[in-house]
Amino acid sequence: MGRIRHKRTHHARRDVSRAARTRARKLDQDQVHSNLSDPTKRSALENPQDLDMEVAGLGAYYCIPCDRHFPSDEAREVHRRSKLHKRVEKKVKEEEPYTGAEAYRAAGIGIDNRQRTAKN
């Protein structure tokens, strides 16, 4: 008997399980927008009072629009000059986040347009 032929199709199981993980989850757009618009939250994130041992740079160097911590101030400045940061910052500043009412309207929940047909 000869060798057994292996399947030649790729099932991409690795990518599905990788997408399901939430360990590197970023903040949603409405959370980032509230962090940028509220001066108390913004100052607390830019100048933390206590250091966090779990994040890079002890939590002292943080980019609010991108929701990323950096090991040094130089690394954060290089990031701020990058195209990725500029795109994210532009998106956060230009687009207003959706509200709960807008989400319900988009789903058609709670809206009565009185467009009914008469029953005979």
Burial of residue 29, with CB atoms counted within 10 A of its CB: 0-12 exposed, 13-18 middle, 19 or more buried: middle
Residue pLDDT, tens place only, 68-104: 999 999 999 999 999 999 999 999 889 888 888 888 8
Residue pLDDT, tens place only, 19-42: 677 667 788 888 999 999 999 999
**Residue 106 and residue 99: Cα distance in Å, rounded?**
11
Q: What is the pLDDT of residue 116?
A: 62
**Is the pTM for the entire model greater than 0.85?**
no
**Residue 40 and residue 30: Cα distance in Å, rounded?**
16
Structure confidence at residue 118 as a pLDDT band (50, 70, 90): low
Could you say which DSSP state residue 119 is in?
P
| CATH number, span 26-97 | 3.30.160
Q: Structural domain boundaries of the chain?
A: 26-97
In Å, how far from its chain's centre is CA 78? 21
